[in-house]
């Protein structure tokens, strides 16, 4: 059992420490410095986005995207998605999609934000494909009209936006990855019409497809322990 008086939050991590006056003073100073840094980054973002709104051009668009990336660096991987969405959800597509796709691969535990995320992606006034990188275009262009996708997760979390075209990748998520525990692990398989895929990315070699889970077809769910990889 941890003594709750010794549990402190250090840059988003709960650490059990033997608290002394010196340690307490150091932690208080770090909290103040962290709060000040957050405010500086937010101010820089507001200035950059206001300049772009006043005079939209490529130089100012890149400056706004850079300010968003700088802000997101303040959050840990579990908090980053909600943090980034709060900055860009009402932005124009030329800001929203590049910023969102740029940060997506460094976000973890996105389940809690799925409803808001799906809402803002559906509401975007232009498709993400307009802002794909060359690598994304190559990945997307190889997909058939009906795409087979897989997801490894806890059973209650099947209908999420993040899937993979690679079953082996899904199995890795079912086992647990990056320290994330997966109770009731399953492998889900489905097909989805290509037009209902928001975007694709292979930034982490996961052949990831971000899609509208309401458009999934022929969904099957199997306990992970009973699943045999087709790649084996």
pLDDT digits (tens, 9 = 90+) for 4-34: 555 555 555 555 556 677 777 777 777 777 6
CA–CA gap between residue 172 and residue 187 (Å, rounded): 10
What DSSP letter does each residue of 63-96 carry, written as one string? HHHHHHHHHHTTS-TTTHHHHHHHHHTTS-HHHH
Predicted local confidence at residue 107, as pLDDT:
83
Query: Strands, DSSP E only, in the chain?
Result: 7-10, 13-16, 146-154, 162-164, 185-193, 197-201, 208-211, 217-223
CA–CA gap between residue 203 and residue 39 (Å, rounded): 30
Q: Which of 202, 72, 60 is nearest to 140 (CA)?
A: 202
* 108 exposure class (CB count in 10 Å sphere: 0-12, 13-18, 19+): middle
Domain positions in the chain are 25-128, 132-226
Q: pTM for the complete prediction?
A: 0.78
Mean pLDDT of 63-75: 86
The residue ranking higher by pLDDT, 226 or 172, is: 172
Q: Is the pLDDT of residue 105 over 90?
A: no
């Amino acid at each position: 059992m941890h003594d709750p008086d010794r549990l402190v939050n250090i840059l988003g991590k709960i650490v059990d420490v033997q608290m002394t006056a010196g340690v307490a003073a150091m932690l208080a100073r770090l909290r103040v410095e962290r709060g000040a840094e957050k405010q500086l980054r937010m101010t820089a973002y507001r200035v950059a986005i206001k300049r772009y709104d006043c005079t939209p051009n490529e130089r100012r668009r890149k400056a706004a995207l850079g300010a968003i990336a700088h802000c997101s660096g303040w959050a840990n991987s579990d908090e980053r998605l909600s943090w980034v969405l709060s900055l860009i959800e009402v932005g124009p597509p030329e800001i929203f999609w590049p910023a969102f796709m740029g940060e997506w691969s460094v976000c973890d535990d996105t389940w809690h934000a799925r409803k808001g995320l799906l809402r803002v992606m559906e509401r975007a006034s232009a498709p993400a494909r307009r802002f794909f990188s060359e690598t994304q275009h190559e990945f997307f262009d190889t997909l058939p009209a009906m795409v087979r996708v897989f997801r490894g997760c806890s059973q209650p979390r099947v209908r999420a936006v993040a899937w993979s075209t690679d079953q082996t990748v899904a199995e890795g998520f079912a086992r647990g990855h990056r320290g994330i525990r997966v109770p009731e692990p399953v492998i889900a398989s489905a097909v989805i019409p290509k037009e209902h895929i928001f975007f694709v990315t292979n930034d982490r070699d996961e052949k990831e497809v971000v899609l509208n889970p309401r458009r999934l077809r022929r969904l099957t769910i199997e306990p992970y322990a009973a699943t045999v990889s087709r790649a084996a």
